[in-house]
Amino acid sequence: MASSEPNIVQNPDVRYLGRLLGDVIRVYGGDELFQRIEHIRSASVSRHRGLAGAEAIDPDLDALSLDDTLSFVRGFMLLSMLANLAEDRQGVAAEPGATLAEAIDTLGRENVSVEQVVALLREALIAPVLTAHPTEVRRKSMIDHRNRIAELMRERGEGQTESKEGDLIEPAIIRQIALLWQTRPLRRDRLYVADEVETALTYFRDIFLPVLPILYARWERVLGCRPPSFLRPGSWIGGDRDGNPFVDAQSLRSALARAAETILDHYLSEVHQLGAELSISSDLVEVTPGVETLAALSGDDAPARADEPYRRALSGIYARLAANFRAVSGRDPSPAPRTRAEAYPDPVTFRGDLAEIARALNAEGDGRLGSSGRLGRLIRSVETFGFHLASLDLRQNAEVHERVVAELLRTAGVEQDYAQLSEADRIDLLRRELGGTRLLGNPFATYSEETQSELDIVRAAAEAHRLYGAEAITTYIISKAEGVSDLLEVNILLKEAGLWRAGDPPQAAIMAVPLFETIGDLEKAPDVMRDWFGLPEAMALARSRGHQEVMVGYSDSNKDGGYLTSVWNLHKASRMLAEVFEQAGTALQIFHGRGGAVGRGGGSSFAAIRAQPKGTVQGRIRITEQGEVIAAKYGTRESAMANLEAMTSASLLASLEPRSARRRDRFYGAMESISQEAFRAYRELVYESEGFSTFFRQMTPIAEIAGLKIGSRPASRTRSERIEDLRAIPWVFSWSQARVMLPGWYGVGQGLDAFGDIGLLREMTEAWPFFRTTLQNLEMVLAKSDMGIAARYAELVEDAALRDAIFTRIRDGWHRTHDCLLAMTGESRLLENNPQLDASIRLRLPYIEPLNLLQVELLKRHRAGEKDPRIREGIQLSINAVATALRNSG
């Protein structure tokens, strides 16, 4: 199933895997099916090559039976999955500075020393945060087979002929592809929060746990010293309640317990293997008093280990860890400890025992026994993951907090109508409550289900701090934050659980973090934070903590104002926030709520971080990772190492690389003008065009996407069909399926065209990293969209007049954006200056088009009332396949 066309398929691994997939389909699906699929594939490739006389593929698709349609869609989906795998093996695109060593070289040429880099890293935090936002359409079983193929391809690339299990490489790959072919791609039952937790734990256990200690060891060699654990993963899964009624105190407790169980199990395994490794005899070496003490306290008095103090010390460490594991899981680990012991009170004490062993080993010979190898990696893991594995954020909507606090105040007899108070009066009231020791909650009062649920959450968070340490939960995200009272309300709730304590200064064990999501919210963000720092207690908290986090949302700002206005307002807000924080004398930590699609902040993370305004990174940055992006970036250890190092490198460059002294007032003024016109055009289409919601819901498979079992969260916040109430993820995902990609470009052409100064636009492209990155992401989206295919989806709109009126505007907007972009870049076609991405997209286009055409026909039949279950299955399979081929679609 692989084309021999050299200018489309440049990656030999794609050709190789495509050939093996074709062989599997022939064997397991039959020669007739193979020939049909191959005919459609070759005809579609010929069409995209522009060969004269190339056959139209529509009639061939129409001739497929429903059974053959399902097989065809699975075949093209698997080909796209294998093509993605082959490309991922190439790692991160060769961008200057994409490794720490390259970043240091780049900074060195700008007279930034390694000592300055190390000083920054001492205060740094770089955190990829995994979320459960549902854009990953593949079952975990499919991902597992895919990852096994990736491992076999790595061994093949190293010249091995046998796998580590002793199988011949090529037959082993064929076996995995055959398993993929025979594995059901779609989930039959909806996901629960517990399922999402387990999926995330797979990545933490199989990828982050082994990869991060290796990266740190590499960075130690590059830096010439041992940096602190500045790169630490986070999670939202089990703590993100915004719009998800299935996340509650019990799911929070379960997520935390499973994470603790996972990390403790890892530590137990490593300590057990260290015991096997450190067979050092006291008859042959001198043992330090510290190790002798650990050995004596271990309770391990087996005669066979009488002269092996390291093994006895590790027996005692294992027994204490086993007690921690038992407390979390309710069972003994395997193998069971030789003795019973008291659990470790915290990971610092556990690390102290490991460090004692390391010091003793380093005292012998050249000191390499304790500072490297398994023990060195384990010590690094404890520093990075603690007993909690990954910090879990809490998140809830500000409107919920308002209702809960209002009920608490009303029931306590403090204020009967909190919701009617002005912002100033709310702030005064909440500050008075936070300044005293009285709690609002009454154990004998009856509260609404919502209020009780929110109180249970903060109490579960306090319990987590006692069980797993303060790093288990450090942050409480406030969605739809609009004012200072939104932050104070969260602290009122934290106070109810003992997580806020009044005093001078006050103490808050969890930081309240505002999330500014809409265009209006982003515009107000600097004023909100300026007012926040105007409160003495808020300023005291920020100074004691050393920083304050602010989260900015890409998805909702895009849905609210369009791509260009979203990225510009995010840039402006970040720049202005940096000024506010500098005036306040505290460090800014921005949490970027990015998704996979460009309309949700997707694109190169390396380029995006480097393009952040000066003063907004400073070594501290958090970024959400979700859906198909998690599998793409962290599906294998190799890709995870490349992406994590690129994130680190970009953060260093954004923090320390000197910026051009050229004033950009002209650039900012131009961008403001372009953004205003783009915003007007976008809002006019999406929110002011009569019937647009109907057009969108009929043209795209939004209803069918809502039926996919890809997440625990509902597709809409309410039962309303208004665009305002639709979640950003299905909004973007639906436009991607229909090949319009509207959230990633609409309005840009109108803004650029109205501005008109092509000379200044070209200067901005050349000299301004932010603008250049914005255009690069825009170009990728335009290359993946197809107005011809989109027109076929538009035929699904029942009202012809509505269809023609709106689709004509969309198509004209696409052509205007396309033409303006080429005029600015000087290219003759899209991606002319990015051959690697161009080849990747060109490879996929011939395989996506037949999937789209089949999807349209199946949607017509489904909406006409045909009841054959294979039609619904075909639609869902095609959604899966198109998303796999497009990669960053949600």
C-alpha distance from residue 866 to each of 68, 240, 697 (Å)? 18, 38, 19
- What's the CA gap between 132 and 802, in Å, rounded? 36
HSE-up (13 A, CA, CB side) for residue 868: 13
Strands 507-508 and 391-392, bridge-based pairing: unpaired
Which DSSP letter does residue 337 get?
A: P
HSE-up (13 A, CA, CB side) for residue 370: 18
Phi, psi of 593 (to 5 degrees): -85, 75
Query: Residue 119, Cβ neighbours under 10 Å: how many?
Result: 13
Query: 232 by DSSP, 3-state: which?
Result: coil
| Segments of the chain scoring below 50 in pLDDT | 2-9, 52-55, 92-94, 135, 715
Q: What is the pLDDT of residue 54?
A: 43
Strands 475-479 and 511-516, bridge-based pairing: parallel
525-583 tens-digit pLDDT: 999 999 999 999 999 999 999 999 999 998 888 999 999 999 999 999 999 999 999 99
Q: What is the pLDDT of residue 602?
A: 58
- What's the CA gap between 718 and 708, in Å, rounded? 18
133 is a catalytic site residue: yes
Phi, psi of 391 (to 5 degrees): -60, 130
117-165 tens-digit pLDDT: 999 999 999 999 999 755 455 677 888 898 899 999 999 999 999 998 9
Name the region of 855 (left: φ>0; alpha: ψ -120 to 50; beta: rest). Answer: alpha
- Asked if 551 contacts 513 with a C-beta cutoff of 8 angstroms, the reply is yes
- What's the CA gap between 154 and 144, in Å, rounded? 15
Name the region of 369 (left: φ>0; alpha: ψ -120 to 50; beta: rest). Answer: alpha
HSE-up (13 A, CA, CB side) for residue 673: 14
Alpha helix stretches (DSSP H) within 599-700: 605-610, 628-634, 637-656, 665-686, 692-699
The token pair at 297 is 């306290």
Query: 738 by DSSP, 3-state: which?
Result: coil
- What's the CA gap between 769 and 771, in Å, rounded? 6
559 is a catalytic site residue: yes
Amino acid at 288: T
Identify the active-site residue in 48, 133, 571, 633.
Answer: 133
Identify the active-site residue in 48, 480, 559, 862.
Answer: 559
Q: Under 8 Å CB-to-CB from 162, ≥6 apart: which residues?
A: 168, 169
List, in order of start, the domains of the chain with CATH numbers.
Answer: 437-656 (3.20.20), 665-833 (no CATH)
The token pair at 470 is 């303060």
Burial of 688 (0-12, 13-18, 19+ CB in 10 A): exposed
- Asked if 176 contacts 145 with a C-beta cutoff of 8 angstroms, the reply is yes
For tokens 């000299």, the residue is: 767
Q: What is the pLDDT of residue 455?
A: 98
Phi, psi of 376 (to 5 degrees): -60, -40
- Asked if 419 contacts 406 with a C-beta cutoff of 8 angstroms, the reply is yes
- What's the CA gap between 401 and 454, in Å, rounded? 8
Strands 500-501 and 507-508, bridge-based pairing: antiparallel
C-alpha distance from residue 575 to each of 119, 531, 612 (Å)? 23, 17, 8
Q: What is the pLDDT of residue 90?
A: 66
C-alpha distance from residue 437 to each of 335, 433, 456, 463, 499 (Å)? 48, 8, 20, 20, 12
Q: What is the pLDDT of residue 57?
A: 57
Query: H or E element: which one contains 550?
Result: strand 547-553
- What's the CA gap between 822 and 757, in Å, rounded? 14
Q: Under 8 Å CB-to-CB from 337, ≥6 apart: which residues?
A: 315, 318, 319, 322
Strands 125-131 and 620-626, bridge-based pairing: parallel
Q: What is the pLDDT of residue 722?
A: 82
Give the predicted TM-score (pTM) of the model. 0.92
- What's the CA gap between 768 and 776, in Å, rounded? 12
Go through the chain and tell me how many residues it has: 890
Query: Residue 292, Cβ neighbours under 10 Å: how many?
Result: 15
- What's the CA gap between 737 and 420, in Å, rounded? 44
Q: What is the pLDDT of residue 134?
A: 53
Nearest residue to 102 via CA among 666, 642, 494: 642
Query: Residue 820, Cβ neighbours under 10 Å: how many?
Result: 22
- Asked if 485 contacts 406 with a C-beta cutoff of 8 angstroms, the reply is no
Nearest residue to 573 via CA among 675, 724, 707, 703: 675
